[in-house]
Structures are given as C-alpha cells and as structure tokens.
Amino acid sequence: MNMMRTAMLLAFMTALFMGIGLLIGGKGGMMIALVIAAGMNLFSYWNSDRMVLSAYHAQEVDERNAPELFHMIRDLSANAGLPMPRVYVYDNPQPNAFATGRNPENSAVAASTGLLERLTPEEVAGVMAHELAHIQNRDTLIMTITATFAGAISMLANFAMFFSGNRSNNPLGVIGTIVAMVVAPFAAMIVQMAVSRTREYSADRRGAEICGNPMWLASALAKISGAAHAIPNYDAERNPATAHMFIINPLSGERMDNLFSTHPNTENRIAALQEMASSFASTASTGGFQAARPQRAARSVPNTGWGRGSDEPRKGPWS
C-alpha cells in the first residue's frame, strides 16, 4: 500500500511538473519538464535525504561524540524492531527534529541542538520515537520526495515570469503564466499539507508505543510548539518546501491552527496522546519503557538531561 501511495504521488507530482512546463513553454516545455521530472524521480529516490540533511548543515554523530543521544536512538530502534538509523545533529536553537531516508535500511534522524538543550531526556525520547515511527511507516521517502518536487515546482513557477513575454510558446498567454506562477505552487503546498497532516497522527500513536509513554511526546509537543514560532529557523525559512518533514512546523510565520498548515493542530495531537495515555496506565505503573532513557551524570547538573553543567563547553560536532 505504501509503495502504491508513493507511485501515485510521483505520478501526480510529475504531471503537475509537466503541466507547468506546458503553461510556460507549450509542448516543448512540457517535454523538457517530463525529462527533468524523470531525472528528479531517480535523483530524489537516491539522494533526497542527503539534500535535506545538507540544507540544515546536519552533522552525523556516533557514540563517541553524542553517546546519550546515540544510545537512546539505538534502544528505541530495537524497541521498534528497526535497524539503527544514522543519527544527525544540526546546530539551531529552535527545538525540532525530522527523519529522512528512502527505507528503514537507509534512514536517518536529525535533532536540533535546541531540542537537546530545552527538553528532558524523556521528551527527547518521545520525539525520536515519533521520527522512528515515520521511518517504520515508510513516510520518509514520500516526505523527502514531496519536499524535492515542491521546491522544484516553486522554482519553476518563478521562472514563468521570465517567459511571460514569449506568447508563441505559451498556449494560454498571460493567463497560463499566472496559473504557472500562482496555482502550481499552491497545488504543491496542498500536496505537502495532505502528506504531512495525514501522517502525523499515525506517527504520534506509533511513537508513543515505541517509547512506552504517550505523555513524553505530548509534553515535548507542547514545549516545541511554544518555542518553534518564537525562535526563527533561518535554514527552514530558506527551504520552506521541507517544513512538512519536521515534527512541528519550523516556519515562524505559520500558525498551527491555520487551514493551510502543513501540520495538524498541536492541541489536537496532544489531546489524542492524553487519551491514549489512559490505556498505558498499567504499563506506566510498572515503569514503562525504560531502556531509551539516557543516564544522567551522577554529579549535580541543570535539568538538561544531557549530563553537562552550564559552565561546561558544548561537546559534539556543533562545537
């Protein structure tokens, strides 16, 4: 079923891309767009994850330079029955995270430094479990391909203004140019919205099952939502086509209750997790899922959960 959805998405995005080519350059433009779309389909399948990670300057970490995060994701992956993904950290004060990759065997999860600094270990475990759920549900391929196509469609629509004077190749003249410039990016946004909003609830539920406590994720969502729009993410502002990949929309101008938001209403997500938590009461009373919780240092440190005091320098690839 996931393969069928992916194929349908690729077909739709390719048709949309060809339609823009037709509006800009007639049949010749449509054929050029078809060739470009075919190349993008192949490129997106193999390289879209690298493009997204590169866009956010994410750096891979391991058990030597980020042992607590690495061990947490290793334990969560084992609990989910998934192979260990590559682990990345990107330097940004906005708490957020995303997952990418074409399949569970070739996947990656990325957390911001803001997420690791502002959330407790339990909350980070809930967020990372959510991202692993996307990998397990094979959402990451669809989300990364959608991000690639949406960005390309927006860029192609911008090119339309440069071809607006060439009416001999544009079958609809000025109207076709306006459609290409306005309607096509809007259609791409609708696709992004549909892809993300229908998958977040499923990933929340499965993520709560993976980490063993729905309230960890609920608490994390409340904190991230409160900080995400107060702390700008300039890389996300430059790459808005990737916004749907994050656990919370990283764009500072996007309201979570907006009709055209790429994410469901955060309060509704939290309410669903709180309702789910009641069924986890017996599990929580026996300790829940403990393996994913990183060990705090024995000495007294602020409640960052990552074993370092405020007077100590950062340790990791972002330092």
Per-residue burial over 59-69, b = 16 or more CB atoms within 10 Å of its CB, e = otherwise: bebeeebbbbb
Q: Collapsing DSSP states into helix, strand and coil, what is residue 145? A: helix
Contacts of 239 (CB under 8 A, 6+ apart): 55, 56, 151
Separation CA 251–CA 243 (nearest Å): 7
200 is in an annotated binding site: yes
Q: Catalytic site residue 105?
A: no
On whether 263 is known to bind a ligand per the annotation, the reply is no
What is the secondary structure of 184-242 as a DSSP string? HHHHHHHHHHHHHHHHHHHHHHHHHHHHS-HHHHHHHHHHHHHHHTTS--HHHHH-GGG
Please check if 244 is assigned to a binding site.
Answer: no
- Active-site residue, from 68, 122, 123, 131: 131
* Token pair belonging to 55: 């866009």
Contact criterion met (CB below 8 Å) for 262 and 244: yes
* Residue 297 CB coordination number (10 Å): 11
Question: Cα–Cα distances in Å, from 143 out to 103, 169, 243, 253?
Answer: 12, 34, 10, 21
Number of Cβ within 10 Å of residue 34's Cβ equals: 16
* Catalytic positions: 131
Positions at the binding site:
130, 134, 200
Positions at the binding site for Zn(2+):
130, 134, 200
